[in-house]
Amino acid sequence: MLGLRRYKRTQIDIWQGDITQFSVDLMVNAANFELAGGLGVDGAIHAAGGPEILAECKKIGNCPTGSCVVTTAGRLPAKNVIHAVGPVWVDGNNKEAELLKTCYENIFVTAKNLGGRHLSIPAISTGAYRFPQGLAAEIAMTTAKKFIDHEYQSAPQRITFVAIDGAAYDVLQKHLFASFADEIDHFEQ
Ligand code: AR6
């Protein structure tokens, strides 16, 4: 089953698997403030990309929550990695949703400024940082739509949200279809 929408000049789709195996221009990492590497997506990206990514991260230093920084992609099938730092979910009363929205806004602006045609994004904050998957997917899709609405001429041609498993895929697909429901449907079994 393939979740896919076209909206203005951008294709928005979902891909299931390890983000490091999916070729793009710009690969987004779910990083931490120290840009120190870690587990989850971060661990996979540094393991597959090689030490030059971490060396560049060390030179940059750190990245506040909601922001992102750009490095080379090393051996990854991408031109650059956008290291984005999502919020840690506490109880929902600590600006978690606002910070995740800001994080996605910064990712899209950074991708636009880099001129990337194809961007892949993992489910930021939904692993070690414990952000609820449904709310995170809703924020990802609504922020993508708003960005395309404002920047459709310079938005990436393709935005791929990456799901690690079938359950994550279903959550992303539900919110993809909810946010982009009024557009042309390309739905294949
Ligand atoms: N490809 C795609 N998605 C993945 C992969 C992968 N290879 N591996 C995990 N996921 P997380 P966070 C999913 O924990 O919550 C790190 O240690 C995962 O199932 O990677 O933002 C960093 O260094 C989950 O749905 O990122 C930070 O310290 C989603 O990606 C901290 O964790 C995000 O999970 C960041 O936590």
What are the sequence ranges of the domains in the chain?
A: 2-179
CA angle 95, 100, 104 (to 5 degrees): 150
pLDDT attached to residue 184:
54
Q: Which CATH superfamily is domain 2-179 in?
A: Leucine Aminopeptidase, subunit E, domain 1 (3.40.220.10)
Residue ranges of the chain with per-residue pLDDT less than 70? 1, 182-189
d(CA 77, CA 141): 24
Pocket of ligand 1 (CB under 6 A): 18-20, 30-32, 38-42, 44, 86, 122-129, 162, 164, 168
In 3D space, the residue among 5, 3, 17, 19 whose CA is nearest the CA of residue 173 turns out to be 3
Whole-number Å distance between alpha carbons of 187 and 132: 26
Structural contact between residues 155 and 105, judged by C-beta atoms closer than 8 angstroms: no
Q: Whose CA is nearest to atom 20 of ligand 1?
A: 40
**Predicted TM-score of the model (pTM):** 0.96
Atom of ligand 1 at shortest distance to CA of 30?
Answer: 21
The single residue of 13, 18, 25, 42 carrying the catalytic annotation is 42
DSSP 121-178: E--TTSSTT---HHHHHHHHHHHHHHHHHHHTTTS-SEEEEEESSHHHHHHHHHHHHH
List the Cα angle 42/48/52 in 5-degree steps: 85
42 is catalytic: yes
In this prediction, residue 187 carries a pLDDT of: 47
Q: pLDDT tens digit string along 122-138? A: 999 999 999 999 999 99
